[in-house]
Amino acid sequence: SNIDGMKLFLQHCKTCHGVDGNPTDLGEGLGARKFADAEWQAKTSDERIIEQINEGTPEMMMPFKEKLTPEEVKALVPVVRGFKK
């Protein structure tokens, strides 16, 4: 597709997850992890990443299913994967 996943990430996610997948102070305070973490990457499925973006976590991360189309949510998966070290 021609959806720019990185652009979406910078628009909607970087306030907590940082430009490079390392949580900002805000994100860390809420409990966000480093997306570079290879162990977390290995145990986390694409489906789980999609579910998290759609549903969020109460009081930690807002849900995006009303804000982003399914195609846009899918385009964020390779961005999150790309932060792996």
33 to 62, contacts with ligand HEC by CB under 6 A?
44, 48-49, 52-53, 57, 60-61
Say if residues 83 and 21 touch (Cβ distance below 8 Å).
yes
Q: Does 75 bind ligand HEC (CB under 6 A)?
A: no
- Residue in 18, 21, 27, 83 binding ligand HEC, rule: CB under 6 A: 27
Q: Closest distance between ligand HEC and the C-beta of residue 7, in Å?
A: 11
Q: Residue 48: how many CA atoms within 13 Å on its side-chain side?
A: 8
Q: Does 30 bind ligand HEC (CB under 6 A)?
A: yes
**Interface ranges with ligand HEC (CB under 6 A):** 12-13, 15-17, 27, 30-32, 44, 48-49, 52-53, 57, 60-61, 64, 76, 80
